């Protein structure tokens, strides 16, 4: 049986990766298919190409009886039912490491954009205000500020390295301490929010941590604190964030991800202390090329019956 590869989920696909899929079997994009076509293609699908937002649950396995594996063009896989993957003994791979530095760069860019109000400073020039209006207001330095990183994984550690270069003081929140770092550890997110000036979110989204950043946590962060989210939109209760901004409970926020993206509440827009990006964390030509290469290597390993390079933790490698 030749490979039948099905792209599941709405995410951009480079020409390079599309060509690689087409070279390895019949390739279908599910969103381009009619309901009847989807049913027929799923009956023959051997590989699913997914991403962080791809939804693939227990019921989906019955629709794909010949499925060998799911290869994710992302580091995240929160829409995929990992226990079901393990139960059905299929491969599940993702693309860690290759995007860590890029996402960390994006996190620091968002932090600086928010604290220094770079977007509004540019508009100040473009609107002809420089030299013809009140001077642009003073902004906030991140020097010697305390940054609390929620999730000290690969990307979290890359952010910490960059924060150190800005002479920031670093703490982190997680399930357990890391013995390879000397940063203060917090087992409670609210306690870390009380401690830090910048709350940086870079942890996986789970049903248990949905809306973990709520009004209580934002109040703990305080009127001089900034929230940065380069993880998943579901971590933040959006209505509470809007309330915190409206009432000056926090100093500002910078977001690359949103709870119901691509829908972004109008209440978050056009604020000098809020920086927004359309989920661009790893979106550079160079990083997406490396991610595509890793996807193809994992795909080839599955097809050839070899060990995959980057299985999702807890899933099969061989």
The residues carrying an active-site annotation are 232, 261, 279
Residues 6 or more apart from 253 whose CB is under 8 A from it?
114, 226, 227, 228, 229, 241, 245, 268, 273, 274, 275
95 CB-side CA count, 13 A: 27
Query: Strand order in 69-72's β-sheet?
Result: 26-29, 4-7, 47-50, 69-72, 91-93
Query: Which residue(s) pair with 274 in the sheet?
Result: 253
Q: How far apart are the C-alpha atoms of 318 and 306, rounded to whole Å?
A: 6
First to last CA, the chain: 20
Helices 15-23 & 285-303 angle (0-180, nearest 10):
10
Widest Cα–Cα separation across the chain:
71
Q: Is 59 helix (H, G, I), strand (E, B) or coil?
A: helix
Judge whether 88 and 58 are in contact, CB under 8 Å. no
Q: Any long-range contacts for 171-179 (C-beta under 8 Å, 24+ apart)?
A: 171/146, 171/147, 171/195, 171/196, 172/148, 173/148, 173/149, 173/203, 174/150, 174/203, 178/152
Alpha helices in 6-46 (DSSP H): 15-23, 35-44
């Amino acid at each position: 049986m030749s490979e039948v590869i099905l792209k599941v989920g709405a995410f951009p696909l480079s020409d390079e990766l599309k060509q690689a899929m087409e070279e390895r079997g019949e390739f279908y994009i599910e969103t381009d298919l009619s309901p009847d076509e989807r049913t027929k293609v799923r009956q023959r699908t051997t590989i699913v190409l997914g991403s962080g937002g791809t939804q693939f649950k227990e019921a989906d396995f019955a629709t794909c009886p010949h499925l060998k594996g799911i290869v994710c063009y992302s580091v995240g896989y929160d829409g995929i039912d990992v226990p079901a993957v393990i139960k059905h003994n299929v491969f599940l791979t993702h693309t860690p490491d290759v995007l860590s530095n890029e996402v960390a760069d994006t996190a620091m860019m968002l932090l600086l954009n928010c604290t220094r109000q770079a977007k509004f400073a540019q508009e100040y020039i473009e609107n002809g205000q420089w030299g013809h209006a009140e001077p642009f207001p003073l902004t906030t330095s991140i020097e010697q500020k305390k940054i609390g990183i929620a999730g000290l994984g690969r990307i979290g550690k890359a952010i910490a390295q960059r924060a150190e270069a800005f002479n920031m003081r670093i703490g982190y929140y997680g399930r357990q301490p890391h013995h390879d770092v000397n940063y203060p550890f917090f087992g409670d997110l609210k306690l870390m929010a009380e401690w830090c000036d910048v709350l940086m979110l870079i942890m996986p989204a789970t049903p248990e941590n949905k809306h973990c950043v709520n009004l209580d946590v934002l109040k703990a962060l305080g009127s001089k604190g900034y929230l940065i989210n380069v993880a998943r939109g579901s971590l933040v209760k959006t209505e509470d964030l809007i309330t915190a901004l409206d009432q000056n409970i926090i100093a500002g926020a910078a977001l690359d991800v949103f709870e119901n993206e691509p829908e972004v509440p109008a209440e978050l827009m056009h604020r000098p202390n809020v920086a927004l990006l359309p989920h661009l964390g790893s979106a550079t030509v160079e990083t997406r090329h490396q991610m595509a290469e890793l996807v193809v290597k994992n795909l080839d390993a599955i097809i050839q019956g070899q060990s995959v390079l980057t299985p999702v933790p807890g899933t099969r490698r061989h």
